[in-house]
Amino acid sequence: MALAVLAQQVPLLALAGQAAGPALLPVAIGTLLLVFGEIPVTDWLLGRYVAGPWQSRVYAVSDLGGLGVSVIAVPAIAFLHERSGGFGLTFLLLAAAAAAACAAALWLPPRGSGPNPRLAPRAATLSGFQRPESDRNW
């Protein structure tokens, strides 16, 4: 599912940079639906593939990364708009980033696999967090 969302973003983002006028409206709506639809997919992937004791840390790093990117985004967009005279280059770079994320999504574990239960107790002891006996057989 994540791969389908990412794969559909690539052509829509590239097209959004080239479309103008009324043709831009359906492209923009599709792009926004896919971008905002990706947020719960990302949270689901983190919840599925990250061991319990590490989830809060991974979510924190994810949020911190989002804040760092947002700080850079506005000056970068202004710089690209000034240099290229429009937003076409910005959307092409966003399409390239979506293509890179799509390529990275190909490395996700197969659909049937989840957290490795043999590794979970080791990860829990490494973090200094010991799960209660009743919670070990997840």
The answer to whether residue 136 sits within a structural domain is no
Domain annotation covers residue 28: yes
Domain annotation covers residue 93: yes
Flag whether 135 is in a domain: no
Across the range 71-77, mean pLDDT stands at 94
Neighbouring C-alpha atoms within 13 Å toward the C-beta of 87 = 13
More confident residue, 44 or 129: 44
| pLDDT, mean of residues 75-91 | 94
What lies within 8 Å, CB to CB, of 30 at 6+ separation is 8, 12
Domain-embedded: residue 18: yes
- Residue numbers of the domain that contains 95: 2-108
Span 5-20, mean pLDDT?
92
**Mean pLDDT on 84-104:** 92
126 part of a folded domain: no
pTM: 0.70
Structural domain total, the chain? 1
| 91 inside domain | yes
